[in-house]
Structure 1
């Protein structure tokens, strides 16, 4: 961040004034240490500093207004909401109807029983298996 007047540091002034007013405040001390090490604070940290500094009479209104402007200038991160959970597998109703229709008439049909086991275990039925089911239905039911 490039400042217009590098010798004027409002955030440092506010940090030092609030620490002088309340020397037992560990929050302000840690903010001052982070500011000196990293050269800046996050938006949330600046908001916390503003709340502390607004209670200290030694901090002028102009410095508070400058701090508020710096806070408003910082970017706010928004998390997008999680997408709705969709099931991994949706059962093919047409295949289920074909399986049930065939098994009503021929309950011991081994290939269709195999398809039913796969269908009940939520395993996807491929296109070729579905065609085979349609062919069985046509041969056995629609005579």
Structure 2
């Protein structure tokens, strides 16, 4: 049982090394074609550091490899297959979140109307400060504003 597991792991590792070997060969061939290319040099450096490249980087390498004249077509096909096997990651769209608090326009109009006529009314000034700080006015406070408007704005 242990020997079978060891062989299965070895086969998987060998398969991964073959893929990796092709990518390394493509990087070397692209470097030989254009030794001054910074993009290929940076990909080679990252490949040596991390041992892998992202899907976008592999797509960029594919574009460079297709421009090389003496690139074996089977290497390019293998690179395309590796790219197709990799998952495509999408950024989710930003969702527009509705505001948690909605100001009561009627209460705001009542406060403004009362304070236009009586700017020193202490209770209404207090309610305006609550309204301006986006605090919810209770039903009692709104009914109080309506009562003030009936009494003061006749």
* In 2: Cα distance, 1:23 partner to 1:45 partner: 18
Mapped contact 1:34–1:40 kept (Cα < 8 A): yes
Q: 1:38 aligns with which of 50, 57, 63?
A: 50
Q: Which runs of structure 1 show a deviation greater than 6 angstroms over 4 or more consecutive aligned residues? A: none
Q: Gaps (5+ residues) in structure 1?
A: none
Aligned to 2:143: 134
Change (3 A) 1:34 1:65: same
Instruction: Report 1:62-101 matches (<5 A).
Output: 62-84=74-96, 86-87=98-99, 89-99=101-111
Shift of 1:50: 0.6
Change (3 A) 1:2 1:75: farther
Aligned to 1:4: 15
* In 2: Cα distance, 1:28 partner to 1:78 partner: 25
Shift of 1:30: 2.4
Aligned to 1:58: 70
Normalized per residue, the structure richer in helix is 2
Shift of 1:141: 3.0
TM-score (norm 1): 0.74
* In 2: Cα distance, 1:14 partner to 1:66 partner: 10
Which segment is superposed worse, 43-52 or 76-85? 76-85
* In 2: Cα distance, 1:55 partner to 1:117 partner: 68
Shift of 1:138: 4.6
Change (3 A) 1:141 1:45: same
* In 2: Cα distance, 1:53 partner to 1:59 partner: 7
Aligned to 1:29: 41
**Number of equivalences:** 138
RMSD of equivalent CA atoms: 3.1
